[in-house]
Structure 1
Amino acid sequence: MPFRKIFFFILFSLVFSSSAHAFDGYVQQFDGERSIAWGSGDIIVTGEVETPDGDEVEPPTPLAVRKAASRARKLMLDMIMAIRIDGRQTVSAHLSDNEDLAAQLRGLVHNSLFEGPDMFRDIRSVKVSESLRGKLAELILPKTVQFQSSIPPRLSTATGPAFQIGETPEAVGNAGGFTGVIVDARGLKITPCLLPVIYGEDGLGAYGAFLVARADAVDVGVAAYATTANPAALVERVGGHPLVVRAVRTYGSWQTDLIIPTQAATLVRTVMQSGHARKGGVVIVVSPPPAPEKSVVEGGDSDA
């Protein structure tokens, strides 16, 4: 009986865990120990617990566990500071002149969710985690951003022809109205960010923070990133009847923003202003990285 109870407890935990994180999206890996899931917003750092003389039999001491958690949280803070808010600044750059917000961020990370060694995990490792949604987003999203202004930004110059034959948007499903947008940007080099902007080739913004309420940006994010364009896999974010468009190029020195054909941009703008689209119902599909990235902090603390 005890064995059966343990078995069903483990099975329930696995099922619950998978349903709670149904859409991780594009998971950006760093050194195999740190990751950012640009779908769910989960930030996870694992760390090794040091033991005296490499003893693999005795459980680690509480002090060793605390030290491992402290190191993991320091790495997490570095990761968060290096995240790009948009094409102009990182979190670090944004908080550089606001010590109060920076202190609140450090406090949030210091109290991040912690999982220590136990019988179901490697007793030599710890895991700390935080989310880009909720409290963290409230701290790091600049108050100066004009959320939900309905005023599309404009590029200084148009980047290409108004519309190219053969790039007509593709609708998926049979629902009455589009429930979201999938932007297929595979093959383009893209830097994920918190506030991406999608422009038409005429230089007019099609989607971005200007169409999103700040509360929604905090709760679900402006857009999510994924490595598949399969609408069935993205239904949690874009609903059952998404509009699918193809990005033609990136924009900006950090390649955070996207350019799509002008006709597609007009339709995207209309869809995301309708009452049918989900909040933050935009997924940017990127190519899977060729290999884990070695450092998230390299070149991340300065404005672009």
Structure 2
Amino acid sequence: MLVEQPRVRRQWIGPTIISVAILCSGVPVVAQAAGEGTSHYTDMVTPNGRADWTTGVVTAKGIGIPPKNPASALQAKEMARTAAWAVALRNLLEAVKGVRVDSTTTVNNFVTTNDEVRTRVEGMVKGAKLVKEQEMPDGSFETTVEMKLTGDFSSVVLPKLLPRPDPLPEDKKHPIDKKSIISKSYTGLVVDARGIGAQSALAPRILNEQGDEAYSVAYVEQRDVAEQGIAIYVPDLPSAQANSRVTSRPLLVKALRATGNNRTDLVVSDADVQTIHGIPEHFKFLKQAKVLVVLDAQ
């Protein structure tokens, strides 16, 4: 059950021919999660690759065409299969490079400026998981591959960000309204960021109205950063309510605006930040990255 802060009344409205990738649309879409009763938030990070921001997986497809004059049918088949795999991996690499890391950078920024990061990212792409391989009636092959944005990938990209800060300094805090002191702790945080043009990223930040951090990668235990990421995204409140990430009593707050070049940092009210930081137990769910963001589904 989503829990709103009681002091504020809110209403929530519930080529080469070989390199063609068969992926449609260039806007975020809603994909139904099989067997979970929830929807996934996905978007096309490049024309040839899609990111599922609910599961933290990037997927790409590639098509391989058999040669015109093969020595044998077997050779034609194997060459088409090999070509489809190579194209899918190339498309996957481009998709991964297009993933937003934070409000100002993408993976490509790290790859082009750090040889170690580039080598490791390219190596992980080469080890991508084969999702589907299909032979077409014309002899071509369509191959689908995917790679997780958590695990080893997170450990390569996210440590390049700023070190852990202290919780919001005393001089940045605002007086707590005695009427708003909470009697029970919450089990997670849901930020409703619909209607403000916000976008997804590996390392979003939650800020107060003065721009001070209330939550970021620096608040999360490194193990949890690698295993599950900083936050996950869903396209609607029912999906947020059904997601086990924030468990049984998450705090629901409304983002006032999105900031940064990539519009991935979310500003919430000072009163909401006071509630988020209101009791020590809340820092526990922040450390465990029990944070979920609702974005517009298009």
Calculate the TM-score normalised by the size of structure 2: 0.73
- The verdict on how the C-alpha distance between 1:276 and 1:73 changes in structure 2, with shifts beyond 3 A counting, is closer
Structure 2's unaligned 5+ residue stretches are: 1-32
Match of 2:106 in 1: 90
- Contact 2:46-2:95 at 8 Å conserved across structures: no
CA RMSD of aligned residues (A): 3.5
- Contact 1:225-1:286 at 8 Å conserved across structures: yes
Query: C-alpha displacement at 1:70, in angstroms?
Result: 0.9
Deviation track 1:268-292 (CA, whole Å, cap 9, x = no partner) reads: 2346744466821111111013xxx
Runs of 4+ in 1 over 6 A off after TM superposition: 21-24
Once residues 277 and 257 of structure 1 are traced to their aligned partners in structure 2, the CA distance between those partners, rounded to angstroms, is 16
Match of 2:271 in 1: 263
Once residues 87 and 39 of structure 2 are traced to their aligned partners in structure 1, the CA distance between those partners, rounded to angstroms, is 25
Matching residue's letter, 1:216: D
* 1:67 lines up with 2:83 in the alignment: yes
Secondary structure class of the residue paired with 1:85: coil
- Contact 2:60-2:95 at 8 Å conserved across structures: no
Match of 1:28 in 2: 43
- Contact 1:231-1:240 at 8 Å conserved across structures: no
* 1:125 lines up with 2:133 in the alignment: no
* 1:150 lines up with 2:166 in the alignment: yes
- Contact 2:230-2:289 at 8 Å conserved across structures: yes
- Contact 2:40-2:235 at 8 Å conserved across structures: yes
Once residues 32 and 115 of structure 1 are traced to their aligned partners in structure 2, the CA distance between those partners, rounded to angstroms, is 19
Alignment of 1:6-85 (within 5 A): 18=34, 25-29=40-44, 34-51=49-66, 61-85=77-101
Match of 1:288 in 2: 297
- The verdict on how the C-alpha distance between 1:278 and 1:205 changes in structure 2, with shifts beyond 3 A counting, is closer
- The verdict on how the C-alpha distance between 1:238 and 1:194 changes in structure 2, with shifts beyond 3 A counting, is same
Q: How many residues align?
A: 253
- Contact 1:87-1:256 at 8 Å conserved across structures: yes
Once residues 285 and 157 of structure 2 are traced to their aligned partners in structure 1, the CA distance between those partners, rounded to angstroms, is 29
- The verdict on how the C-alpha distance between 1:192 and 1:116 changes in structure 2, with shifts beyond 3 A counting, is closer
Calculate the TM-score normalised by the size of structure 1: 0.71
Structure 1's unaligned 5+ residue stretches are: 1-16, 290-304
- The verdict on how the C-alpha distance between 1:142 and 1:255 changes in structure 2, with shifts beyond 3 A counting, is same
Secondary structure class of the residue paired with 1:177: coil
Once residues 93 and 226 of structure 2 are traced to their aligned partners in structure 1, the CA distance between those partners, rounded to angstroms, is 19
Secondary structure class of the residue paired with 2:133: coil
Matching residue's letter, 2:218: F
* 1:178 lines up with 2:186 in the alignment: yes
Greater strand percent: which structure?
Answer: 2
Aligned counterpart for 2:260 among listed residues 252, 255, 272: 252
Once residues 22 and 219 of structure 1 are traced to their aligned partners in structure 2, the CA distance between those partners, rounded to angstroms, is 23
- Give the stretch that moved more between structures: 267-276 or 201-210: 267-276
Secondary structure class of the residue paired with 1:26: strand
Once residues 228 and 39 of structure 2 are traced to their aligned partners in structure 1, the CA distance between those partners, rounded to angstroms, is 12
Identity %: 22
